[in-house]
Each structure stands twice: as structure tokens, then as C-alpha cells.
Copies of this chain bind each other. A is one copy, B any other.
């Protein structure tokens, strides 16, 4: 493992200052790059430190341990995800069904654009309080959109709990299939992500929408 880093690739770039400046951020970015290269368990604190040009012990001034570094990556990703879902729903207008759809599409778009972030965010061993709270709050938002749609009569009159979970699951499944390489294994390239996502969401959207 890590045979690739035989002092050729990320050789210690010298810095002129004794202090790094923003080692915390550099470690987060380094970890993300290593996830992209080798997956979550290919992340090495030492290797990220090497690429940042610091000694092996330096990162531990910023993170208590490796899992805290990963948690920082996850939390960074969650902030970006929430921001882009927020923007998408705002731009989507007033209809709750439209807003729900926009949220879902934004979710998948994020996963395709930031698969390493996405993967780290969803490693169960790492997801602690803050992350779970954020996820719960966006599910709460989904649920209120579902209920509003039902009140307005645009969404079918089923258990809103189930409708919310179902919507989440569909969108999570599409995102995960891109991230886990199941789409590309079947010839669906990332460039078709947007089109495939909207087609899928609209197809099953028929199941959610009130007939007539």
C-alpha cells in the first residue's frame, strides 16, 4: 500500500516560514485528495502532512486524531451541501413539489461534483452529532414540504413520513450509485448525471403527485 508515494509524487515541498499558515485547511484538502485517489481508508495523516510539507506530528496540533480530521472533512462537506440545497430550493419558486424536486437534484449534483466529500460524510463510523443534526434538519425541511404539498392538494395523500423517507431514499440512491460507481459500471457517465437524475425523479414523482 502506498507504493506510489516512493518519494516521487508528493515530495516534501519546502516552505520558507517555520509555521505553515493554514495547516488545518491544508490537511482537509490533502485528505480529500487522498480519498479521491485511494478511497476513505487510503487516507494517511502522514502522507497528507508530507504533502503539506510538515512533520508527521504537526497535524496533531489541529486534530486530536485521524478521525477528527475525517470529521472535519465531513463537516466541511455538509456545510457546502446545505448551502447548495438551500440555494436550489430558493431558486425553485413557491410550489412545494418543485422545491422538493430542486432539493433532490441539488443533492445528487453535490454528490457527483464532490464524491470524496460525499463518501466521507456517509461513513457511519464517523458521523457524529453535528452531521446527524444537519441531516435531520434537512429531512425535517423535506417533510414540511411534503405536508405543504398535501395541504395544497398537489401531492398524494399518504403517510408524510413514508413520502419523506421515500423521497430521501430515491435521491440518496441515485447519488450513491454515481459515487459508488454503479452508474459508470453500466455505461452511464457523470456527464449524463443531471439528465438521468431529473428523468428518474420525474418518473417516480408521478407516484407522489396527486392524480387528476
Chain A positions within 8 Å of B, measured between CB atoms, are 1, 38-42, 66, 122-125, 127, 132, 135-136, 139, 156, 158-159, 162-163, 165-166, 168-174, 176-177, 179-183, 185-186, 188, 196, 199-200, 203-208, 211
A179: which B residues are within 8 A, CB to CB?
124
Please tell me how many copies of the chain the complex holds. 2
- What's the nearest-Cβ distance from chain B to residue A65, in Å? 8
Contacts of A163 in B (CB 8 A): 203
- Docked-complex contact B42 and A185, CB < 8 angstroms: no
Find A173's partner among B41, B176, B183, B196 (CB 8 Å cutoff): B176
Minimum CB–CB distance for A135 against chain B, Å: 6
A206 proximity list for chain B (CB < 8 A): 156, 206-207
Contact status B123-A39, CB under 8 Å: yes
Checking B127, B139, B204 against A204 with a beta-carbon cut-off of 8 angstroms, the contacting residue is B204
Are B196 and A165 in touch, CB under 8 angstroms?
yes
* Residues on the B chain within 8 Å of A162, using CB: 196, 199-200, 203
| Closest Cβ–Cβ distance, residue A13 to chain B (whole Å) | 27
In the complex, which residues of chain B have a beta carbon less than 8 angstroms from the beta carbon of A40? 41
Q: Is the CB of B207 within 8 A of A136?
A: no
A206→B205 CA distance, assembly (Å): 9
A127 touches B186 (CB 8 A): no
User: Which residues of chain B have C-beta atoms less than 8 A from A139's C-beta?
Assistant: 186
- With A165-B196, A180-B124 as known contacts, state yes or no: A211 contacts B211, CB within 8 Å: yes
Assess whether B132 is in contact with A204, with CB atoms less than 8 Å apart.
Answer: no
